[in-house]
Amino acid sequence: MNLEIITKEDLNDFGKNLIEEIKKIILAEKPVLKKHLKGHEVRKMLGISQGTLQNLRLNGTLPYTKLGNIYFYLSETIEKLMSDNGYNSAAKSQYQSKSDESEE
């Protein structure tokens, strides 16, 4: 019978390697973009003010749906707007909001 002794150092190395592998998996996954975005989420993605977002709505650049006092925008429309205007795709990949704040 062949026995192998595992030391605390072996366990620490194993733990560090495991954490590094988990980090790689998490970073490799693309963030999930919601289908409908609220105004504050769109402003954050585009880096624009509330007034600019309102102008985009009024001049027809950005279609929207209004439910109560909340404006909703399709994420695919925002992505198209970003690509048409030369926005960097890094802005999309860094954005991931799960907030349910009611704004606009």
**Segment 52-95, tens digit of pLDDT:** 999 999 999 899 999 999 999 998 888 887 777 665 544 444 44
Q: Which of 81, 99, 102 is nearest to 91 (CA)?
A: 81
Rounded to whole angstroms, the Cα distance separating 3 from 34 reads: 53
53, 43 contact by CB (below 8 A):
yes
User: Residue 37 is inside which H or E element, if any?
Assistant: strand 36-38
Q: Which of 56, 22, 19, 27 is nearest to 39 (CA)?
A: 56
What tokens does 93 get? Answer: 């990949």
Q: What is the pLDDT of residue 77?
A: 87
